[in-house]
Amino acid sequence: MLNVQLSSPNTSDLSSSGLLPCGKLVVSMGSIGRLSTKGTVLLLCDMQEKFRPTIFQFTNIVNNAARVLQACRTLGIPPIVTEQYPKGLGATVPELGASDLKAHAKTKFSMLTEDVQSELKRLGEPKQAILCGIEAQACIACTTFDLLDRGVEVHIVADAVSSRSQTDRLFALSRLKQSGAFLTTTEGLLLQLVQDAKHPNFKEIQKLLAHPSPDTGLLSFFSSL
């Protein structure tokens, strides 16, 4: 993302400011979104039993999120799980593979409850977050906004995020992209995390990519990009 400021700067002061001169304009170069396994957290949002019959492409969304979780475990990226009002909406579905993780119960839409914020603090305040789950226009959106406000770079795994309505899902992804979140796919994310076939965990990650992700209805999204 580029931030443009009108000014006539002393170019000798620009090298440490992240600003590049362009005539009378100063262009601020934002992050390109290169993920690292260090200083990154995986956030798994509200993939619960009661949502199974109502969320668009629920099974495929959860299966993709499960692959992301497996990869993050392999690469040492810590995961955090939340559940929206579990008393009424049930527990996290078993196929996510997160039964060994504590699920943080919540009623607010954002995942950043007091408990989760304490967990982030314990993890050293990660600067990058990978986000999977539901629903795009509600809990995913509110979580993204809160993370961006904290200066955290957000990577939304688009084929591991959904809503009841495909319309809400696609418009939410477009809105979050406008706000500065990076959109990626399960395979794109995993390959970016290893970056090299010589990576010591590449073969384990490669096994997770043996079968391409199914179409989860994202192709129509590209008409708005």
154-177, pLDDT tens digit by residue? 999 999 999 999 999 999 999 999
Q: Could you tell me the two tokens for 116?
A: 């989760």
As annotated, the active-site residues are 46, 106, 139
Query: What tens digit of pLDDT does each residue of 75-96 get?
Result: 999 999 999 999 999 999 999 9
Closest CA to 60 of 218, 216, 170: 216
Q: Which pLDDT score, from 0 to 100, does residue 45 have?
A: 99
Q: Which pLDDT score, from 0 to 100, does residue 14 have?
A: 44
Strand pairing class (40-45; 79-84): parallel
Strand pairing class (2-6; 25-29): antiparallel
Question: What is d(CA 140, CA 163) in angstroms, rounded to the nearest whole number?
Answer: 10
Strands (E), the chain: 2-6, 19-22, 25-29, 40-45, 79-84, 103-106, 128-134, 153-162, 182-184
What is the band of 138 on the pLDDT scale with cuts at 50, 70, 90?
A: very high
Question: What is d(CA 169, CA 22) in angstroms, rounded to the nearest whole number?
Answer: 38
Closest CA to 80 of 47, 56, 55, 54: 47
Tokens 């990978």, residue located? 130
Question: What is d(CA 29, CA 11) in angstroms, rounded to the nearest whole number?
Answer: 15
What does pTM read for this prediction? 0.85
Three-class SS of residue 63? helix
Backbone angles phi, psi at 74, to 5 degrees: -60, -40
Give 3's strand partners. Answer: 28
Mean pLDDT, rounded, of the chain: 88
Going along the chain from its start, the domains and CATH numbers come out as 1-30 (no CATH), 40-224 (3.40.50.850)
Backbone angles phi, psi at 40, to 5 degrees: -125, 145
CB 38 within 8 A of CB 156: no
